[in-house]
Amino acid sequence: MKYFKDLKTIIDINSYTENKNGVDKVGEIFDAWFEELGFKKNIHNRGSIGNHRHYSSLDDKNSKKLLLLGHIDTVFPPNKFENYTEDDEWVYGPGVCDMKGGNIVALEALRNLIKKNIEIKNIDILLVSDEETGSDDSKYLTAKLAKDYDYCFVYEAAGKDMEVVTARKGVGTFFIDIKGKAAHAGNNYTDGHDANLEASHKLQNLVQLTNLEKGTTVNVGKIDGGIGANTISPNAHLVFELRYKYLDEKKRVLKEIDKIVNFEYVKGTSSILSGGIQRDVMQTSKASLELIDNIQAITKTILKHEERGGVSDANIVSSCGVITLDGFGPFGDGDHTLKERASRSSFKSRIDLSDKLFTYFIKNSDFN
Q: Please state the φ and ψ torsions of residue 306, each to the nearest 5 degrees.
A: -150, 165
List of residues 6+ apart from 117 with CB closer than 8 A: none
Q: Please, are residues 88 and 344 in contact by the beta-carbon 8 Å criterion?
A: yes
- Nearest-CA neighbor of 214 among 132, 303, 307? 307
Q: Is 337 helix (H, G, I), strand (E, B) or coil?
A: coil
- Nearest-CA neighbor of 242 among 268, 203, 271, 209? 209
| Predicted pLDDT of residue 312 | 97
The continuous run of DSSP H or E covering 202 comes out as: helix 195-207
Q: Please, are residues 40 and 56 in contact by the beta-carbon 8 Å criterion?
A: yes
Instruction: Kindly report the pTM of this predicted structure.
Output: 0.91
* 200 vs 224: CA distance, rounded Å: 11
Kindly list the domain boundaries of the chain, sorted by start residue: 2-167+281-363, 170-279
Q: What is the mean pLDDT of residues 81-91?
A: 96
- Nearest-CA neighbor of 44 among 110, 122, 142? 142
The continuous run of DSSP H or E covering 184 comes out as: strand 183-184
Q: Which amino acid type is present at position 317? A: V
Q: Which amino acid type is present at position 150? A: D
**Binning pLDDT at 50, 70 and 90, where does residue 366 land?**
low
Question: What letter does residue 131 receive in the DSSP assignment?
Answer: G
* 226 vs 243: CA distance, rounded Å: 29
* 311 vs 49: CA distance, rounded Å: 21
Q: What is the pLDDT of residues 161-206, one digit of tens each?
A: 999 999 999 999 999 999 999 999 999 999 999 999 999 999 999 9
Q: What is the mean pLDDT of residues 107-121?
A: 97
215 backbone φψ class: left, alpha, beta (φ>0; ψ -120 to 50) = left
| Predicted pLDDT of residue 229 | 97
221 backbone φψ class: left, alpha, beta (φ>0; ψ -120 to 50) = alpha
| Predicted pLDDT of residue 172 | 96
Q: What is the pLDDT of residues 8-29, one digit of tens each?
A: 999 999 999 999 999 999 999 9
Q: Please state the φ and ψ torsions of residue 197, each to the nearest 5 degrees.
A: -65, -40
| Predicted pLDDT of residue 61 | 84
Q: Which amino acid type is present at position 341? A: R
Percent of the chain with pLDDT over 70: 99
Q: Span 170-279: which CATH code?
A: 3.30.70.360
Q: Is the pLDDT of residue 368 over 70?
A: no
119 backbone φψ class: left, alpha, beta (φ>0; ψ -120 to 50) = beta
Q: Which amino acid type is present at position 211? A: N
Fold of 2-167+281-363: Aminopeptidase (3.40.630)
Q: Please, are residues 32 and 10 in contact by the beta-carbon 8 Å criterion?
A: no
Percent of the chain with pLDDT over 90: 97
| Predicted pLDDT of residue 221 | 98
| Predicted pLDDT of residue 1 | 78
- Nearest-CA neighbor of 138 among 23, 250, 61, 40? 23
